[in-house]
Structure formats: structure tokens, C-alpha cells
């Protein structure tokens, strides 16, 4: 498992940090972040950023805890007013991060975790360079990634699997643009490493590279 780190300097200690987690479909980024957020020490220090979405609320989902559910018209209004920092469209629905909620957390010293695609992660890095820590979750191999993608749904078409693998290859080439790269060979070990990164960043804002 490898971790790479680029320097972070001159962060204001009273401000919150944004931990932006990215990785190819099937890399395990959402599962890893979920495990980290459940740990005793980090659940007191870190909160998950709640996105807005235009899709309907599903059974078991809670408004304001899973998503903020809004209409397409409201999403367009927020976007036009430049109140959406980053967004993506998936299966015909929009997902985005609201500017006011995020900046309020930063100003209050609250640390947030976000799972975003590469475009969204790098956009937040450009907008908040002193407050954003980007972590790329790398799968063990493309062979394993293809297996994970295929295993998610037995009805996934071969061409869709290959499309996602090609996208993953492009993302892996750009992983050097992230502050950290964590290879997810083992879920428990990768979650521990991700938690360690977050704790060290929160603790002293001056992190050194760690490699196994």
C-alpha cells in the first residue's frame, strides 16, 4: 500500500479542512470513507458533507443526512446564482455541493469529508487550496477493478464494464495530482491509512509522506 503526499503550507489552524476522496468506480472509496466516519476518534472531528440532488428520496434516506432533495428548477436557480461549487450529472439527475454550507463549515473550524469525482475534487482544490486535502483511492489492479465492477450487478453489459475500466485508466494517470494516493489492497488496512492521513492533517497541518 502506498501513500504519496505533496506539501501543505500556511493553513490557518482555526479554519476547517476539506478531505476530498476520489477514485474509480469499484475502488471502494465510499466504503472506506464510511468506515472512517464510524471510528470513535474521527466521528467527533469529521462530518460528511451533504450534497444536494434532484433525484427522488429513496426508502430509508433522510433529508439533510443523506442528501438535500431539491427540484431541478431549484438546482438550476442555485447554479445560476453561483451557489453550487461543483456538480455532476448521473443517470439524468444532478448532484452538487452548496457553497454556503461548505464555507460556513470552513469558517467555523469544522472538518468535512466529501466523495467526489476527479473534476469536482480538483475544482475544490483550486478554489480552496489551503483548506483542501485530496486523497485518491487506487484499486489493487485493473484486473481486480474489472472484477469488482462486473460483480456489482450481474446485468452489467460488457461494454459498460470496459467503459468504466477505460475511465479508471484515465483517472489513474491523473492520480499524481492528488495530495495522497492510497492503494486499496485490503479494506481494513486502507481505511486505517485513510484515517491516519485525516488525523495527521487535522493535528498539525504539516504531514510527511508515509510509505509501506
pLDDT, one tens digit per residue, over 63-79 is 988 899 999 999 999 99
Sorted by where each begins, the domain ranges of the chain are: 18-49+109-204
Q: What is the pTM of this model?
A: 0.80
Q: Convert the pLDDT of each residue in 79-107 to its tens digit.
A: 999 999 999 987 789 999 999 999 999 99
Can you list the residues of the chain whose pLDDT is less than 50? Answer: 6-7, 9-12, 204-212
DSSP class per residue in 16-64: --EEEEE--TTS-HHHHHHHHHHSTTGGGTEEEPPPEESSPPPTT--BT
Q: In what order do the strands lie in the sheet with 68-69?
A: 68-69, 52-53, 93-98, 84-90
- CATH architecture for segment(s) 18-49+109-204: 3-Layer(aba) Sandwich (3.40)
- The rounded mean pLDDT for the chain is 85
Amino acid at each position: 500500500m502506498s501513500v504519496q503526499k505533496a506539501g501543505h503550507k500556511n493553513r490557518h489552524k482555526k479554519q476547517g479542512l476539506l478531505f476530498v476522496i476520489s477514485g474509480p468506480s469499484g475502488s471502494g472509496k465510499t466504503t472506506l470513507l464510511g468506515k472512517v466516519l464510524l471510528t470513535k476518534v474521527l466521528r467527533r472531528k469529521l462530518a460528511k458533507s451533504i450534497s444536494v440532488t434532484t433525484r427522488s428520496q429513496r426508502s430509508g434516506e433522510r433529508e439533510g443526512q443523506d442528501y438535500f432533495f431539491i427540484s431541478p428548477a431549484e438546482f438550476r436557480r442555485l447554479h445560476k446564482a453561483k451557489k453550487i461549487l461543483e456538480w455532476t450529472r448521473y443517470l439524468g439527475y444532478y448532484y452538487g455541493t452548496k457553497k454556503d454550507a461548505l464555507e460556513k463549515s470552513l469558517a467555523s473550524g469544522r472538518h468535512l469529508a466529501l466523495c467526489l469525482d476527479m473534476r469536482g475534487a480538483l475544482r475544490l482544490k483550486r478554489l480552496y487550496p489551503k483548506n483542501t486535502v485530496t486523497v485518491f483511492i487506487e484499486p489493487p489492479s485493473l484486473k481486480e477493478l474489472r472484477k469488482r465492477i462486473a460483480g456489482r450487478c450481474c446485468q452489467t453489459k460488457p461494454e459498460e464494464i470496459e467503459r468504466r475500466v477505460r475511465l479508471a485508466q484515465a483517472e489513474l494517470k491523473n492520480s499524481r495530482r492528488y495530495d495522497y494516493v492510497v492503494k486499496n489492497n485490503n479494506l481494513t488496512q486502507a481505511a486505517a491509512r485513510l484515517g491516519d492521513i485525516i488525523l495527521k492533517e487535522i493535528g498539525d497541518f504539516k504531514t510527511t509522506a508515509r510509505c509501506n
